[in-house]
Amino acid sequence: MSHTTLIELVKRYSPSGQEGEAVDYLVQRMAALGYARAYADEAGNAIGVMGEGPRQIVLLGHIDTVPGEIPVRVEEDILHGRGSVDAKGPLAAFVDAVAALGPVEGWQFVVIGAVDEERHSTGARYIAASGAYRPEYAIIGEPNRWERIALGYKGSAWAEATITRPQAHTASGQQTAAEAAVELWTAIRALADRYNADKPRAFDQLLPTLRGIASGEDGFSQWARLRIGCRLPVEVTPDEWYARLRQLSTADISPLGHPIPAWRGERNTPLVRAFTGAIRAVGGKPGFVRKTGTADANILAPVWGCPAVVYGPGDSALDHTPQEHLSLTEYRRAVTVLVYVLRRLTRD
């Protein structure tokens, strides 16, 4: 099995916002591999279509990476390079698996290399809003090892909490804005501890984080500002999280970015059964995971409403690290699993 798609894609350094060269390569590669159509859509996503049948399977991975270029090299069985794991490995495996299977009568395979996943998921949001795809099954590309299937990702909500107080003499004993900010963060941690007390799994917990703090004053007032993030369980929506923050304090709570609800996929589906059978056929023992991060599955799976899983080769512990690398043996196994899955789904 050739590793050309993977290696050449990793060679095109593509941090979020700079995906153009990688998208151009992937479009050309899919055309060369026999895809019926290959192009970049208006959002800049790379799109490859194999087959023209009325039934559709979408395989979507992201083509952008975090910043930090790593020299691309192959040492024995290991490919080193930014994106080899997160998530060009899964995306390239999609491309190669669909090409290996080829067109299947009555079916259409759509492979998407989505842009901007590491920042705002602009590519996935465009896909979701476009209504252009109606898949019966969706496979989202993220690294979870070739033997494992991810069936859940936590939600995410960011907020800025701003507290203001009238200026007072330091000897007055009145609470300062900075003190109130510390009190608010302590209350948030206590809220999370109470919620998490009977929930041993991180996937089910509230996981708040304080990522910024600033304060200042002028002659008449003082202020303090916290930048707060939280990984959310399925049972708590972003709106519910913001409401809980507002109940804790008189601080002004301003949501930041794009809040993302958590997603949990169904286990008893033809898609999951196809994956477990494929992994066993390749000699592995299937495993299931639910992740504490977020992925494009959070955005797309609820919109499409079809059976969905997250799959891809690579050790997610290497995501975003200077040591990012992928075993080529693992890559080949993942491609073989995907071919088996697509063949089984389109045969039933």
Token readout for 109 is: 């395979």
Q: Which of 86, 117, 118, 296 is catalytic?
A: 117
Q: What is the pLDDT of residue 171?
A: 55
**Fold for the domain defined by 4-153+262-347:** Aminopeptidase (3.40.630)
- Residue 314 identity (one-letter amino acid): G
- In one-letter notation, the amino acid at residue 231 is R
Residue 229 and residue 156 in contact, taking contact as beta carbons nearer than 8 Å? yes
Q: Do 71 and 318 form a contact (C-beta atoms < 8 A)?
A: no
Q: Work out the pLDDT band at 172, boundaries 50, 70, 90.
A: low
> In the predicted model, is pLDDT for residue 348 greater than 80?
no
Q: What angle do CA 157, 158, 160 make, to 5 degrees?
A: 145
Pairing state of beta strands 107-114 and 46-50? antiparallel
Pick one of 3.30.70.360, 3.20.20.100, 3.40.1190.10, 2.60.120.650 as the CATH number of 157-258: 3.30.70.360
Active-site option among 19, 64, 116, 147: 64
Spell out the domain ranges in the chain: 4-153+262-347, 157-258
Summarize pLDDT for 15-50 with one digit per residue, the tens.
999 999 999 999 999 999 999 999 999 999 999 999
- pLDDT-derived band at 168, boundaries 50, 70, 90: low
The reply to whether 64 belongs to the active site is yes
Q: Encode pLDDT of 45-84 as tens digits.
A: 999 999 999 999 999 999 999 999 999 999 999 999 999 9
- 297-326: average pLDDT: 96
Tell me the per-residue pLDDT of 95-126, one tens digit each, with 9 for 90 and over: 999 999 999 999 999 999 999 999 999 999 99
Read off the pLDDT of each residue in 131-143 and give the average, rounded to a whole number.
Answer: 97
Q: Is 8 assigned a catalytic role?
A: no
Would the pLDDT of 170 be above 60? no
Q: Tell me if 224 sits within 8 A of 180, measured CB to CB.
A: yes
Least confident window among 132-146, 217-231, 261-275: 217-231
Q: Average pLDDT in the 85-94 region? A: 97
- For the segment 185-232, what is each residue's pLDDT rounded down to a tens digit? 999 999 999 999 999 999 999 999 999 999 998 878 899 999 999 999
Q: In whole angstroms, what is the distance from residue 208 CA to residue 154 CA?
A: 12
The Cα–Cα gap between 202 and 224 comes to 30
Instruction: With a cut of 60, say whether residue 169 has pLDDT above it.
Output: no
